[in-house]
Amino acid sequence: MSHAYSFTEQVNRQFDRAAVFTPHDAGLLEQIKRCNAVYRVAFPVRRDDGSVEVIEAWRAEHSQHKLPTKGGIRYSLGVNEDEVMALAALMSYKCAVVDVPFGGSKGGIRINRAHYSDGELERITRRYTFELIRKNFIGPGVDVPAPDFGSGEREMAWIADTYQAITAGELNALACVTGKPVGQGGIRGRREATGRGVYFGIREACRFGDDMRARGLSTGLGGKRVIVQGLGNVGFHAAKFLVEGGAVLVGIAEYEGGIYAPDGLDLDAVVAHRAENGSILDYPGAENITPSIRTLEMDCDILVPAALENQITAENAGRIQAKIIGEGANGPVTADADTILLDKNVLIIPDTYLNAGGVTVSYFEWLKNLSHVRFGRMEKRFEEGAYRKLLHAVENVTAHHFSEDEVSVFTRGAAEEDLVNSGLEETMVGSYNQIREAQVRHGCDLRTAAYVTAINKIVAAYGSLGLFP
Ligand code: GLU
């Protein structure tokens, strides 16, 4: 029987595979790999029925080579110290890969959120925030949480409000957390950002003819058959943008089981079907797949695991038919499965790159909060005026008259969401080319290349601190 590696060990094995491609001192590599600080806390919460329950929670700060540290807070029964540490490490590498100037961190609250009322969740979230403040594990320049599995905008608003109440007068208080509602200091485009980033990353990967031909695929996203695991924020938006980009959604896996239809599924209709019936199963025209995990083994070109870690293991990796795996989730492929899939020539687009769209737009939100102004507010009208002058000049020279519709399309200045999506696309496309270049240079796989890139950037940051000249 093979040894069952913990999630942290999985991440460290992947780190070690990459470290051999770097020239750095063993001690320095060890410092980068280690989780710098973990705070574990237990606190009481008053349930609605008057009883008191003890809640267990964590915050792990993996690397302070850049500050603040950054990473989401997970609300799940599966949360434990090892998981939080592994996810914090992935955040450090992810931020480095996409040049987001943060260290990595992660938080977790061990609850099944479905068992708590809104009021109970609010009390848990506010108390957790208070505990982080007391130990200096949160703050705009210290550690900045965000949503993760089981949390969303509402929880982030509670965190921001608690922080602001306690640190009254701190000018940059709103930058203590990202993923907030737009009305409370959030940024347009953050909600869709991770899924949109997954789309940009897969689209970019499909642009390389050599990589596609090596897997018997044609260049471009058009017509490629996709299976998505998880219809949460990441999976839903990844599926939506991939379909808008020309791919065909043929399978979806959720808790209750999976559905598969070779001719394609209508994403919005599946979501409506689930809302009505409480399950994606029995969707008209699709085959039911149980257990859910078997959906990942169905015939497709691109598989996007966008739920949780450890989904593709040594047990099922041999049966995966996809030619491309796009890791929307953190750690969905174990280190053993990785080897099996690479032997099968599967192109794995790694989590440390592919799901970094979320933290990239979190970075934009943080910048917005620190600058206290919405992106586009200063220049939008000025740009529109400049485009209008240009159109008039063209009209004068060519004697062509632009219609009112043309004028409004051609002269539109960039609004906040346009700028966010532009920055996200630039980041995802640029970083893919960086890691692919490293992959070609070292003759390794993309995940290893992403780690090599991350390690080198983190070492450079340590150097600029004067710690490792
Ligand atoms: N929880 C997300 C992740 O795993 C987002 C983190 C963030 O925005 O800080 O990348």
Q: Which CATH superfamily is domain 216-345 in?
A: NAD(P)-binding Rossmann-like Domain (3.40.50.720)
- 353 with 435: CB under 8 angstroms? yes
pLDDT of 468 above 70: no
Other residues' Cβ atoms within 10 Å of the Cβ of residue 90 = 26
Mutational pocket test of ligand 1: of 7, 148, 155, the residue with most ligand atoms within 8 Å of the beta carbon: 148
- The pLDDT score that the predictor gives to residue 467 is 67
pLDDT tens digits, 208-224: 999 999 999 999 999 99
Verify whether ligand 1 is closer than 6 Å to residue 146 (CB atom).
Answer: yes
Q: Which band of pLDDT confidence, cut at 50, 70 and 90, is reported for residue 3?
A: low
State pTM to two decimals.
0.96
Verify whether ligand 1 is closer than 6 Å to residue 180 (CB atom).
Answer: no
pLDDT of 469 above 60: no
Length of the chain: 469
Which residue in 33, 66, 70, 106 is the catalytic one? Answer: 106
**How many whole angstroms separate alpha carbon 167 and alpha carbon 172?**
10
Instruction: Identify the CATH number of the domain defined by range 10-184.
Output: 3.40.50.10860
State which ligand 1 atom lies nearest to the alpha carbon of 190.
8
Candidate from 10-14, 331-335, 429-433, 463-467 with smallest mean pLDDT: 463-467
pLDDT tens digits, 242-284: 999 999 999 999 999 999 999 999 999 999 999 999 999 999 9
**How many whole angstroms separate alpha carbon 469 and alpha carbon 460?**
9
Q: Tell me, yes or no, if 66 is annotated catalytic.
A: no
DSSP 173: G
Share of residues in the chain with pLDDT > 90 (%)? 97
Verify whether ligand 1 is closer than 6 Å to residue 148 (CB atom).
Answer: yes
Distance 89 CA to ligand 1 centre (A): 12
What count of Cα atoms within 13 Å lies in the side-chain half-sphere of residue 442?
22
pLDDT of 463 above 50: yes
DSSP character string of 190-242: HHHHHHHHHHHHHHHHTT-HHHHHTTT--SSSTT-EEEEE--SHHHHHHHHHH
Distance 71 CA to ligand 1 centre (A): 5
Range(s) for CATH 3.40.50.720 in the chain?
216-345
State which ligand 1 atom lies nearest to the alpha carbon of 355.
10
What count of Cα atoms within 13 Å lies in the side-chain half-sphere of residue 41?
23
Strand 103-109 vs strand 37-46: parallel, antiparallel, or unpaired? Answer: unpaired
- The pLDDT score that the predictor gives to residue 1 is 40
Range(s) for CATH 3.40.50.10860 in the chain?
10-184
State which ligand 1 atom lies nearest to the alpha carbon of 330.
4
